[in-house]
Structure 1
Amino acid sequence: MRPFRIDIPQASLDDLTARLRNTRWTPQLPGDGWSRGVPVSELRELASYWQTGYNWRAAETRLNEFPQYLTEIDGLDIHFLHVRSAQPDALPLLLTHGWPNSFVEFTELIEPLTRRGFDVVVPSVPGFGFSAAPRETGWSAARVGQVWAELMRRLGYERYGVQGGDFGAYVAPEVAKADPSHVVGVYITGGLGFPTEADLPELNEEEQTAFAELMNADWMHGVDHHALLRTAPQTFAYGWNDSPVAALAWLTQKFHEFNASGEPLEQAIDRDLFLTNLSVYWFTGTFGSSALPYYDAVGPLWPEGQKLVPTGVYSDAPGIRRLAARTNTITHWPETNPAGHHFIAMSNPADYAEDLQAFFTGLA
């Protein structure tokens, strides 16, 4: 375990500023609003703020308030945050971010969790941020889950909970499969219980409504990032790695599509927090390597979970509890949690921390 601090060279900040200043802007295409992608006017305003208003050094100082470490597991340096609660009987909780996020997803959630009696461990998925990028394919959710189990063993934890959203929703159950005698429960932000084509004839009226909600969601009709990141990430990584505006447009597009809060993105998620997440990708050059979880995926299959330990879910619809229970032992499935589940840890950390506590209370 080697202590780690973020220290981006000033030359990298100056380079980012110069690239933003020298952007060769594309004209606005015909079409209303977001119908052809991120509107030029909105992106220009956001890029201008990134260049002249956003303060990376302040964000860097904030991130360095969290104890950070590197440790080599399975041939890779794994970056992680490890923040202990003041409570002596704290339950360790392992948080796994998804795409297009990073460990930054949880920076506003950590304090509410430690205050509620959790030790918090936040690793960066291999190829994301400050974790090393794998040099070969095959880094599936199962392999990451095995690495996370080893990390918790090295930290000396005998009993712990795991959480995951997006790609983390695939990883968290795999940690339980790799280490069932030590994991007390698995908490998924959302994604369990999505019906397949074979399930459709059996859906009741309420479930059909939930399925229609799924099929009408913006993120079901946006850019197919699964296919793009599975088949041609190298092609697009040239632009993301060379042009900060290309990278900004890509993440703005996906955050817009994934935003399920019912509010405009700029109201749902703090602009500086969004840009800090983006800046971590930019300064570490990990836009391409963050596609690794998709390399070996076959289509946009939903997470299935596991039955070795109890499962809790933050968001219900468009998932269907009856279907999720086929492959999970569901003990927590609220129907009234605030919306915005994909980025709920960023947009509403207090409610998310409360629901995590509600699930894990009694499991330890």
Structure 2
Amino acid sequence: MTRLITAAAAITAVTVVVSGAFPQTAIAPKATTAPASKATEDASIRPFSVHVPDEALNQLRRRIQETRWPDKETVEDQSQGIQLAKLKPLVEYWGTGYDWRKAEAKLNALPQFVTTIDGVDIHFIHVRSKHPNALPVIITHGWPGSVFEELKIIDPLTNPTAHGGTADDAFDLIIPSMPGFGFSGKPTGTGWGPDHTARIWAELMKRLGYTRYVAQGGDWGSPVSSAMARLAPAGLLGIHINLPAVVPPEVAAALASGGPAPAGLSDQERSTFDVLSAAAKMGNRSYATMMGTRPQTIGYGITDSPAGLAAWMLGHPGFSTWTYSTDDPEKSPDEVLDEITLYWLTNTATSSGRLYWEYGGGRSPALSAGEMTSDILLPVAITVFPGESYRTPETWARRAYRNLSYFHEVDKGGHFAAWEEPELFSAELRAAFKPLR
């Protein structure tokens, strides 16, 4: 179910002109200087829509045209970073053929809203199913992600009878933008890690009137959903995650030291250890280390340069095998540029990166001890996608989560599973949450 929110009403209610990459042109919700008290905070839910001024788009194109490119890398692989021959055509297309208005139309065809929680405006998409007794699910994106990743799962989840499911499989969808990301506001103080976001999501579901619901997340959505399960707010029935925190303490210690695998690992566990060890030695999480320690420093470059922002975001390992081919609608240049352009226009390259700093030095969310998984008592469902940064062994999953209610390995899909395989992803959520209805 979709409906169009008028631009005039939304901008009057919840958007302001903010400074940033495009002074006096970029549109985003207002950032607050201090959290409002619960007694005075505006708890209303206001309609929202997007209309970026033409001048912001024109300035973006001019900046792209003025890009100063580095020399070509001196190796034939991606060990020095994203390759010039791969990035340059995409950025050039960004400045000539890409049309942001199509991305805007996709968002504005959906019910979007903003509400203020803990002094920060939270943007979210809220699509109710036409089927009665639909199960509400709040779905959380990560970095370098946004609500764009979830757009293609909206119809399969809210309208399951058109996608191989039954009316009993229906969901109401709540898809928020993380604080500091997209059209949500930017926190101006510290303390905005996954646990804080988890509490905000619980408040959001309460404001929407939901007394029974589930949560889902990949990438940063996994720590946020896991924090929700650990905090167990009233009404939360269980969670589904596709980047679980399963690495045991002794394995984490070996990875941190660069030492050999602990004794006694099964073949599957050893295979996962080898993948994680190789990734660490190749610096696959170097982006996380930088944002986890100096997000402001890297922020100057990626806030000022469109090409720099594109390279930074596409250097994420989840994009490493993407071709940005027009033959693949899930990974087309337009799909990828929707994501990057949203970060640029909202000037959230730096504010989104601070989440890594809040989490602590770029540490991995894959560690069971760091995520305190032993404290989670609610049902936890896991789907393992083969293109994820590591293949979760079921033995580790059962050790990490004492109430593992669902575990399934599928044959396709990667880190951005909802984006890459929306039908399969939706089928997994139907199966994972069926026992909780």
Match of 1:131 in 2: 184
Find out whether 1:238 has 2:282 as its counterpart. Answer: no
Deviation at 1:164, TM superposition (A): 0.7
| Structure 1 pair 346–157 and aligned structure 2 pair: CA distance change class (3 A) | same
Equivalent residue letter for 1:73: I
SS where residue 314 of structure 1 aligns? strand
* Greater displacement, 229-238 / 87-96: 229-238
What is the Cα deviation at residue 265 of structure 1?
5.4
Taking the aligned partners of 1:307 and 1:179, their CA distance within structure 2 comes to 8
Specify the alignment match of 1:331 in structure 2.
405
Q: CA deviation at 1:201?
A: 2.7
Note closer, same or farther for the CA distance 1:152–1:231 as it changes in structure 2 (3 Å cut): same
Q: Which residue of 2 aligns with 1:310?
A: 379
Using the TM superposition, give the Cα deviation of residue 301 of structure 1 relative to its aligned residue in structure 2, in angstroms. Answer: 4.4
1:360 aligns with 2:433: yes
1:64-83 to 2 correspondences below 5 Å: 64-83=108-127
- Counterpart contact for 2:82–2:315, Cα < 8 Å: yes
Total equivalences in the alignment? 360
The 1:263/1:285 distance shift into structure 2, 3 A limit, reads: closer
Q: Aligned partners of 2:422, 2:82: CA distance in 1, in Å?
A: 27
Residue ranges of structure 1 left out of the alignment (5+ in a row): none
Which residue matches 1:55?
A: 99
The answer to whether 1:196 aligns with 2:249 is: yes
Moved more, 132-141 or 190-199: 190-199
Letter in 2 for 1:173: S
The question of 1:258 aligning with 2:318 is answered yes
Amino acid of the structure 1 residue aligned with 2:381: G
Q: TM-score scaled to structure 2, two decimals?
A: 0.78
Letter in 1 for 2:382: V
Q: 1:44 aligns with which of 61, 85, 88?
A: 88
Instruction: Report 1:158-307 matches (<5 A).
Output: 158-198=211-251, 200-217=262-279, 221-254=283-316, 257-259=317-319, 264=323, 266=325, 267=328, 269-298=331-360, 299-302=363-366, 303-305=371-373, 306-307=375-376
- Bigger Rg, structure 1 or 2: 2
CA deviations over 1:1-41 (Å, ceiling 9, x no partner): 01000111111000001111111122213221323222222
3-state SS in 1 of match to 2:205: helix
1:350 to 411, 423, 432: 423
1:45-81 per-residue CA deviation (whole Å, 9 max, x = no partner) reads 0011111121100110111111111100011110000
**Match of 2:131?**
87
Letter aligned with residue 65 of structure 1:
A
Q: For 1:144 and 1:181, how far apart are their aligned partners in 2? A: 16
| 5+ long unaligned stretches in structure 2 | 1-44, 161-169, 253-261
Whether the 8 Å contact between 2:294 and 2:357 is mirrored in structure 1 is no
Secondary structure of the residue aligned to 1:326 is helix
Cα separation, partners in 2 of 1:333 and 1:60, compared to 1, 3 Å: same
Deviation at 1:94, TM superposition (A): 0.3
Are 1:12 and 2:72 an aligned pair? Answer: no
| Deviation, structure 1 residue 264 | 4.1
Query: Separation in 1 of the partners of 2:201 and 2:319?
Result: 28
Q: Residues 219 and 263 (structure 1 numbering): CA distance in 2 closer, same or farther, change over 3 Å? A: farther
Q: Separation in 1 of the partners of 2:250 and 2:69?
A: 43
Where 1:342 maps in the other structure, the secondary structure is coil
Structure 1 residue 88 displacement after superposition: 1.1
Structure 1 position 177, deviation (Å): 3.2
Q: Secondary structure at the match of 1:139?
A: coil
SS in 1 for 2:399: coil
Aligned residue for 1:121? 174
Distance change in 2, residues 1:178/1:318 (3 Å): same
Please tell me the root mean square deviation across aligned C-alpha atoms, in Å. 2.0
Deviations 1:298-343 (A, max 9, x none): 33242454532111111176222222223421111112x1333311
Distance in 2 between residues matched to 1:64 and 1:331, nearest whole Å: 36
- Cα deviation digits, residues 87-135 of structure 1 (max 9, x gap): 0110001000011101111111111111121100011110001111111
Q: Deviations over 1:180-214 (max 9, x none)?
A: 44111100012332233357334223321232233
Q: Distance in 1 between matches of 2:142 and 2:281?
A: 15
TM-score normalised to the size of structure 1? Answer: 0.93
Contact 1:169–1:190 (Cα < 8 Å) also in 2: yes
Give the Cα–Cα distance (whole angstroms) in 1 for the partners of residues 365 and 220 of structure 2.
11
Q: Which moved more, 1:350-359 or 1:168-177?
A: 168-177
For the residues of structure 2 that align with 1:359 and 1:88, how far apart are their CA atoms?
Answer: 20
> For residues 217 and 153 of structure 1, what CA distance do their matches in structure 2 show?
40
**Retained in 2: the 8 A contact 1:149–1:175?**
yes
1:277 alignment partner, SS class: helix
Larger relative contact order, structure 1 or 2 (CA cutoff 8 Å, min sep 6): 1
